[in-house]
Amino acid sequence: MNKRYIGLVLASLLVGCVPNLVQTPQFEMREAGLLRLNPPGLNGVAPEAVIRIVLSARNPNPIDLGLTEMNFNLALDGAKIAGGGTPGFNMKANGVPSTVPVDVTIPITPATLQSMFKIVSGSKVSYTIDGTFAVDAGSLGRPKFGPFVIAQGAYQAPSLASTPPKFAFRNDLTRFTVGLGGAVLDLGFEVTNPAPIGYRLVAPLNLTVGGRIIAKAEAGGSVPASNKGIIYTRFQIDPISAGAAVLSGNFDFQVTGAPSLEVPGFQSFNFPLSALFGGSAKK
């Protein structure tokens, strides 16, 4: 029996014994959170919910392993609602930890509405991720492991009431015109949403000059989760009430309002009247 034949036999035996030769990599959850939840009904914003789970992977074997696939199911409050996978990566040998981000897209359907409502309202939602994975062990083959629980825990999103939006005047989106019928301020402003939940902002606004309200308007628009939105509104100004500020064609102003954040189909949050932003306009 030649050495080449003996080597082939040994290699085939090793591959056949892969489950015993390759120790199972271990996964631990480092953090979990709602990446974004944009409900249906936001103009120009695709409805979706995405949860990000960050895992720590440890490979106890003396050789590096390539994670070639990970397939999993996500359950919220005990009900399986989504599945997915994660791209492959290299797991270093001898227990050196590797970080694995796993994004799970949750369809917004009648079956998931109850869990989505709990997330929007700031209630705790339990989750479980179970599944299988396979590794590339080089000459030892490509063993598969599982199914088993990869991560589990509970998640509670911050309430919109505790993460109010931020407003900023945009001079490049603002136009001031004065004519025979009066003055018009076409105002554009930026709304930053620090929350992972998208909403429609609705607000009655007051335009104030020199401590006096000289015009009122309604504003509304969609603001995506953890993102920014541009809102436009128009103030029709009475020159008599505005006085010299309008006649000069240049005035400083403040905008106050009591914004309402509407998560379509879920919930609304109201904030008290406050100064939102200030700006300056020229005709």
Question: Is residue 113 domain-shared with residue 177, that is, in the same domain?
Answer: no
Is 72 part of any domain? yes
Is 109 part of any domain? yes
Handedness of CA 10, 16, 20, 26 (dihedral sign): positive
Burial string for 22-58 (b: 16+ CB within 10 Å, else e) reads beebebebeebebbbbbbebbeebeebbbbebebebe
Host domain of residue 230: 161-282
The last residue of a domain, from among 133, 157, 181: 157
DSSP 3-state of 107:
coil
Max distance between CA atoms of the chain, in angstroms, equals 108
Question: Is residue 115 domain-shared with residue 228, that is, in the same domain?
Answer: no
The last residue of a domain, from among 130, 157, 184: 157
pLDDT attached to residue 4: 38
pLDDT attached to residue 246: 63
Whole-prediction pTM: 0.80
Question: Is residue 255 domain-shared with residue 275, that is, in the same domain?
Answer: yes
DSSP 3-state of 97:
coil
Positions of the chain with pLDDT lower than 50, given as ranges: 1-18
E runs forming strands in the chain: 26-38, 48-58, 65-76, 79-85, 89-91, 98-106, 125-136, 144-155, 166-169, 175-179, 182-193, 199-209, 212-223, 227-237, 250-257, 260-263, 267-270, 274-282
Question: Is residue 119 domain-shared with residue 170, that is, in the same domain?
Answer: no
Is 242 part of any domain? yes
For residue 17, give both structure tokens. Answer: 């014994």
Is 96 part of any domain? yes
Question: Is residue 64 domain-shared with residue 81, that is, in the same domain?
Answer: yes
Question: Is residue 126 domain-shared with residue 177, that is, in the same domain?
Answer: no
Question: Is residue 221 domain-shared with residue 168, that is, in the same domain?
Answer: yes
Phi, psi for residue 3 in degrees, rounded to 5: -65, -35
The last residue of a domain, from among 98, 127, 157: 157
Is 220 part of any domain? yes
Is 213 part of any domain? yes
List the Cα angle 17/23/25 in 5-degree steps. 135
pLDDT attached to residue 20: 60
Question: Is residue 74 domain-shared with residue 121, that is, in the same domain?
Answer: yes
Q: What is the dihedral of CA 246, 166, 223, 110, to 10 degrees?
A: -140
What is the total count of domains within the chain? 2
Question: Is residue 274 domain-shared with residue 181, that is, in the same domain?
Answer: yes
Is 15 part of any domain? no
Question: Is residue 32 domain-shared with residue 125, that is, in the same domain?
Answer: yes
What CATH number does residue 89 fall under? 2.60.40.10
pLDDT attached to residue 241: 67
Question: Is residue 137 domain-shared with residue 202, that is, in the same domain?
Answer: no
Question: Is residue 217 domain-shared with residue 234, that is, in the same domain?
Answer: yes
pLDDT attached to residue 267: 87
